[in-house]
Structure 1
């Protein structure tokens, strides 16, 4: 296709909005255009390509196979164009901008308290943070990279290890005091295997849906395999987020396996008690990930070197 027949960015934005919303009317509202203008741009695009992109039906739209394929490619181009434009306009061509997605618990309890050091060292870099639950879809998002609890490198994704997830059992000071006042008086109680087994059996064990094997794996690592009745694992609640499990322990709802990065403050103030120094390392970990099909910008390399270097200083 000659360069003179490339579609306009307006037409491509109309395609992107219409494909996401499956409605010319809603796309027009988002783009501040009239419905007829959006419909006209789509029609011109279909004539240019020689294939229909949508199936028009009463009450909405459906993408054709060609439309779905073309939109997937165009969406990535538009996201890349938006990021490049934002970066230049925000920094005046100096430094750069990085749009990063991070799990909310990791962002609030681990990354944000350390971020001042990065900003001080790299004042020309603007770091925009967003949070989400679950893996990111880079084909439809504006993020350049994400820090995710994941297996690491996967087809189409580059990855660098940020931090392993090491879990230890925690209980609230209030719950421990109700169970054994003498134990609660100790700053860091040294518990026998029999005492641990009794504690775990007497309290609900809070689990996380993303690491369902954690309790059985930790008990095996601590030499306590079989010490807790198997049906007891199913009596405790399961939470989707680390922050939920943490707040559940704070609220004396049970005992949970948590990483030190989220518990250190509550342990220091006496709200939480770590029941064992034995840690179990999850098979997945926190990775910085970005699409393989994108050129890695200098701003991402700079942040990647900094954030992966924090692992040496992190008490996991």
Structure 2
């Protein structure tokens, strides 16, 4: 043991200061003292001085100073390869150690509506049962594909085909008109589809193809939706549903998204008419990132259906 300690002391005597090596590596990689100083948050003069002192310590010239940058000498290239490899290995080991000490993270992709009206109210129960796991929600209103590369699992709405993900059907989609109980009381004339056309219809402003809006919903029931006289539009689905809960009009309600609000009495079905659409809600799991933690979340979520 003593010989190892002595060898280490002897080894350290030949090692240049880490500060000088870091500044040299940044300058060599960026081919600029100025850019290296910006990356390391020090002055350009400090980088230049530390590199010069490193050159004096080693007795070699590491850079050829050019008018608009730097170029490595042969000795500089050799040192850069060694230093960059060593720093990269140290950084990798350090990050692995940090990751090992952090709680496992499950990244879940959802729409804002699914997150707001279905998943978030249920998450406290999952966290209470599994306090050692962290759940990060990544929400979007632009379709699951827009966040697919950022997540491990998700609740997606579509036809069940997402590249690289295994889908499990959660619930088929039925769409129907919903409003606050107070809105029904204030509009006793709302009794059929024709009278619905004359109500304030709450809608999401979305030009994506295939999106079900009021016009399409009425068309599937054989009604000319262009006769609708009053439309109030929002740029997100949660805002549409919130406006309906506040009695500002009638919105299109979706199974899964409005089930809890109807069960709690905040919303009611304005009419019994409904439209079943081919797209559904799926649990999706990335095929190359399935872990014990994602399977645990999947088992918990499926128990809710």
Taking structure 2 as the reference length, the TM-score comes to 0.57
Alignment CA distance shift 1:252-1:199 (3 Å): farther
Report the equivalent of 2:192.
Answer: 196
Alignment counterpart, residue 206 of structure 1, candidates 202, 207, 213: 202
Aligned residues: 225
Decide whether the 8 Å contact of 1:163 with 1:308 is kept in 2.
Answer: no
Output the aligned Cα RMSD: 4.1
Say which is worse superposed, 104-113 or 282-291, in terms of deviation: 282-291
Deviation at 1:225, TM superposition (A): 2.0
1:309 aligns with 2:303: yes
Alignment CA distance shift 1:130-1:85 (3 Å): farther
Alignment counterpart, residue 222 of structure 2, candidates 208, 214, 225: 225
Report the equivalent of 2:184.
Answer: 176
Report the equivalent of 1:114.
Answer: 122
Alignment CA distance shift 1:251-1:113 (3 Å): closer
Say which is worse superposed, 122-131 or 234-243, in terms of deviation: 234-243
1:127 aligns with 2:124: no
Alignment counterpart, residue 284 of structure 2, candidates 278, 284, 289: 289
Alignment CA distance shift 1:295-1:118 (3 Å): same
- What's the secondary structure of 1:236's corresponding residue? strand
Report the equivalent of 1:88.
Answer: 100
Deviation at 1:246, TM superposition (A): 0.9
Deviation string, structure 1 residues 51-98 (Cα, Å, up to 9, x no partner): xxxxxxxxxxxxxxxxxxxxxxxxxxxxxx99977753223xxxx321
Deviation at 1:298, TM superposition (A): 1.6
Taking structure 1 as the reference length, the TM-score comes to 0.55
Alignment counterpart, residue 280 of structure 1, candidates 269, 275, 283: 275
Decide which structure has the larger Cα Rg and report it.
2
Q: Which blocks of at least 5 consecutive residues in structure 2 are unaligned?
A: 1-21, 48-92
Equivalent residues in 2 for 1:223-262, closer than 5 Å? 224-226=221-223, 229-233=224-228, 236-259=231-254, 261-262=256-257
- What's the secondary structure of 2:140's corresponding residue? coil
1:269, 1:157 → 2: CA distance? 34
